[in-house]
Amino acid sequence: MHVNYKFMPTANLLIKGKVQGVYYRKYAKEEADKLGITGWVKYISEGRVEAMATGGQDQLNQFVERCRQGSEKASFGCYCDTSL
């Protein structure tokens, strides 16, 4: 089956707060993998992580919610820009 990702919904997330040293990127990747989301997660500066996620709308909604909840060790005010 060929999937045309060109037309798949995409979300850009910016997570601010204590996200370094608490395995937040690993947590986000694991959650994305569980949902079949593709994309990337990276540190962009002290206290911020950016993610670009592509997938079905329901899966993206679940991913954004899980990113807002965060990992057990993370402590942050999450801002998720899902304007894409």
pLDDT score of 47: 76
Contact 14, 31 (CB under 8 A): no
Flag whether the pTM goes above 0.95: no
Listed in sequence order, the DSSP H helices in 1-84 are 24-35, 57-69
Report which of residues 29 and 48 the model is more confident about. Answer: 29
Q: Which amino acid is at 45?
A: S
Tokens of 28: 């986000």
Domains of the chain: 5-79 (3.30.70.100)
What's the mean pLDDT in 5-15?
81
